[in-house]
Structure 1
């Protein structure tokens, strides 16, 4: 599969929200339905305007994206139809090219994502009992460590 990494475009907000929805629904089974709906409302309010890096397929359609703020990756989501095909790895490698001391947070209950980050060379540096909105979904703080 041919994947290119590029900046998001204003006209693809709905496509990016759809990637987020499909990704979360495939990996975040631990979220309550109410909280999942609350998060989607929040994501719809900011995602179309966010300065995202997009993984696009050969037809230039988004299949994944990340939000990078300085040395911190705030978000990484990949469409479940292309999981396991290197899309997440390409996005992380792009982030590392921009931010060699990359950090991120991941839901502790998202075991697939935790395993992915560990395989990519991240190590747990801390833990929070609550997520960024103060809800009881623990976060692991991760940092990229070469070797």
Structure 2
């Protein structure tokens, strides 16, 4: 396991960094979202740098001079948190990103795909609880979404 002390959480450097963040997203989603249709994957990916990343406050986890994960926040909602597949699990990257989002950005809510059991377990084990569920995702697609809130 890599030394957690070598991990830095910082603000995103903006659009110049988006191609790297898209690569992290691709790695993470390919490893954890096997339920996504290829057309949905392509549609989301094509909108990441142009629409989704600019719409959130971004923080980046960096190790050994390179980004290994990122999170996006809007008004207390964690909109995205992705860690490259090579660095995911056991290294504390997701936890550090989540903690920074909570302490520095006031995050209290997150929506997560029900079929992504790893992400569901991650948030539930870190103090979030389910407060709602939608059968369809925000785009009306058949990906049930759980609404989670940080326990008081």
Asked if TM exceeds 0.5, the reply is yes
Matched, 1:98 2:104: yes
1:1-147 matches, cutoff 5 A: 1=3, 2-10=6-14, 11-47=16-52, 49=54, 50-59=56-65, 61-84=66-89, 85-100=91-106, 102-146=108-152
How many correspondences in the alignment?
A: 145
Q: Greater shift after overlay, 50-59 or 87-96? A: 50-59
- 1:14·1:48 contact (CA, 8 Å) conserved in 2? no
Q: Deviations over 1:15-53 (max 9, x none)?
A: 000000000000000011111111111113235535311
SS in 2 for 1:31: coil
- State the shift of 1:115 in Å: 0.6
SS in 1 for 2:138: coil
CA distance in 2, matches of 1:79, 1:117: 18
- 2:53·2:72 contact (CA, 8 Å) conserved in 1? no
State the TM-score, normalized to the length of structure 1. Answer: 0.92
CA distance in 2, matches of 1:71, 1:18: 25
Gaps of 5+ in 1: none
